[in-house]
Structure 1
Amino acid sequence: MRTPAEVIPSDWAHWSHSAPTVVKPLSNGLTNRSYQILADGTLLVLRRNSPASSQLDLNRMAEAQALRLADRAGLCAPVVYCDPQQRYLVTRFIQGTPIDANQSPDREKLAALVREIHRQPTIAVALEIEEKISRYRRAIAPHATFAGALASLHRKIEPHMAAAARLSDGMVLCHNDLQENNLIAGLDGRLYAIDWEYAASGDAYFDLAVITEEFDWDTSGRENFLANYLQRVPGERELQRLQHWQHIYRYLALLWYAVQNCHRDLTGAPDRSDSIHREAEALLRRLY
């Protein structure tokens, strides 16, 4: 457990008139440490960025740009301060709870949030999926027990990347990590997206793939969500496009965990070698 002096940045005067106090640690993600704090009588969230940000290919400048756009549109926790040295981020605390994948979230409301994100202006940083995958692969130790399975999986994913590129209709602003812990149902009745550290301009269907995979919807659920997003019945081309991106996302997520695993000295993550290998084999079977 860190002491309050270790949690609160020494340059807090940039964003608070009085010395902030730590209320409690928040459930920590796999890359960062977050705390609920009190500053000038207001509840805030302080996120201390991961020392493995470089290995995980995180672009904090892109995050700041996306946050400014999302903040203006009321789509995220209001931004208080983005540290220019990229050590931490301070936002308002949203009164609410993360949505629960097991309780059938409101697909219409979720689709509306994603549509609104995609309506925002694009930013200069783009998610070039082949480059992202290449950077992740370079950050994975070649002697890792799961390296062979991931290499086999890469060969199976390449045709899906090519097909997704052919079906693309341009770039939009994407959050790129819309899983349940990053979606907050506010007490005001609104839905908010938090943790924009993977945000970039990219293919809209990547965001849709993240949601449909993370919520583990069946075919009917996926088609219903896509219809809500498109505001019409999806065609075969759109269903195929979503499926390609689902496979790509699942592979990218495995690579992300593999990078985490190979840099446990920085992230403090537990050893997931066996589960990464099992999931890679399962995805290989799914693609045959």
Structure 2
Amino acid sequence: MARQIETRDIPRIRELLQRVLGAEDYARLERLGGLTNRTYKTVLENGEIYVVRIPGEGTGDMICRADEKISTTLACSLGVDAPLLYFGDGGEKVSRYIPKAQTLCAAALQEPERIAQAAELLRRVHTCGKDTGVPFQVFSMAESYEGIIKNKGVPMYADYPEIKEAVAKIRKSLPEPSLVPCHNDPLCENWVQGADKLYLLDWEYAGMNDPMWDLADVSIEAGYTQEQDNRLLESYLQRKPTGEEQRRFLANKIYVDYLWTLWAKTRVPYDGQPMEDWAAERYTRLKGFLAEFGRLEAAVCR
């Protein structure tokens, strides 16, 4: 079912088309996916196709659009995102449409060839040698989200203090990682198969981070099995992972669900019960990963 077009967005879309492309109007408008932003496939009278993004309410509290622009520009220069035509100070964006674009689902990202393609794309970003100067500080962000949750009066889980302490203990047990440019939010919906290659879109949360975060996040979002995790790591590393790399991979699964649980809680005042349910799903899985990490540590100590 097609997603509903927000009538309030139409004047903004028309203004962007005029400013960026010199187009008087669109011929056809179709709303695409997205958790918080509203994104539209926009067909002009001459048949040219573009994508216009309207930022969602409340996103300015959590996203620095200047930082996003830096990361998006890098991704475009590496050929992993669609060509960017305009990026406004408020997060409005106009991009070229990817020909024959197919937004991927979990099942598509589980295909062996796609796992290898995703690993290669992430490796290209991670090894580009650039320092964007854009931080992605997981635990500082978590504290910021906690403040938003408290200020918005969103109820938090009774056992959250214990879970937070367990996550912090794992962090202290691992060496500080080398930081590289990362996407940090590789939802299935952000992966698009074009006519020519695979793309990774929406660099809102991109920044310098442990590369294992991106791999762990892909695994979670696509629902990978242990065998698929192994394929992802081996495709990315181009060899079998060491025990320490497997430990970091699992630790980053924990960090991913920890941070995005809090993020989802900050969105509850705007998006309601669906975001509350999404947070609960993340939180339950986080506890499972913590238990798995405990078993792994116990096995190593034997």
Structure 2 equivalent of residue 90 of structure 1: 94
Compare relative contact order (CA 8 Å, sep 6+) and give the higher one, 1 or 2.
1
- Residue by residue over 1:219-268, the C-alpha shift from the partner in whole angstroms, topping out at 9 and shown as x without a partner, is 2211221111011111101000101001110111111111111x32xxx4
Report SS of the residue matched to 2:204: coil
Q: 1:204 aligns with which of 190, 203, 211?
A: 211
How far apart, CA to CA, are the structure 2 residues paired with 1:53 and 1:158?
A: 27
Structure 1 equivalent of residue 279 of structure 2: 276
Q: Where do 5+ consecutive residues of structure 2 fail to align?
A: 292-302
Contact persistence 2:14–2:24 (CA under 8 A): no
Structure 2 equivalent of residue 126 of structure 1: 135
How far apart, CA to CA, are the structure 2 residues paired with 1:111 and 1:271?
A: 30
Structure 1 equivalent of residue 149 of structure 2: 140
Q: 2:64 aligns with which of 54, 59, 64?
A: 59
Structure 2 residue 55 is the aligned partner of structure 1 residue 49: yes
State the TM-score, normalized to the length of structure 2. Answer: 0.84
Identity score, percent: 23
Deviation, structure 1 residue 11: 5.0
Counterparts of 1:8-157 in structure 2, within 5 Å, are 8-21=13-26, 23-39=28-44, 41-55=47-61, 57-83=62-88, 85-95=89-99, 96-103=101-108, 104-105=110-111, 106-120=114-128, 121-141=130-150, 144-157=154-167
How far apart, CA to CA, are the structure 1 residues paired with 2:27 and 2:247?
A: 48
RMSD: 2.2
How far apart, CA to CA, are the structure 1 residues paired with 2:170 and 2:59?
A: 28
How far apart, CA to CA, are the structure 2 residues paired with 1:173 and 1:275?
A: 27
Deviation, structure 1 residue 278: 5.9
Structure 2 equivalent of residue 159 of structure 1: 169
State the TM-score, normalized to the length of structure 1. Answer: 0.88
Q: 1:193 aligns with which of 200, 206, 211?
A: 200
Contact persistence 1:160–1:248 (CA under 8 A): no
Q: Where do 5+ consecutive residues of structure 1 fail to align?
A: none
Structure 2 equivalent of residue 217 of structure 1: 224
Structure 2 residue 255 is the aligned partner of structure 1 residue 248: yes
Contact persistence 1:36–1:44 (CA under 8 A): yes
How far apart, CA to CA, are the structure 1 residues paired with 2:91 and 2:34?
A: 16
How far apart, CA to CA, are the structure 1 residues paired with 2:104 and 2:11?
A: 31
Structure 2 equivalent of residue 178 of structure 1: 186
Contact persistence 1:64–1:82 (CA under 8 A): yes
CA, structure 1 residues 162+254, in 2 after alignment: closer, same or farther (shift >3 Å)? same
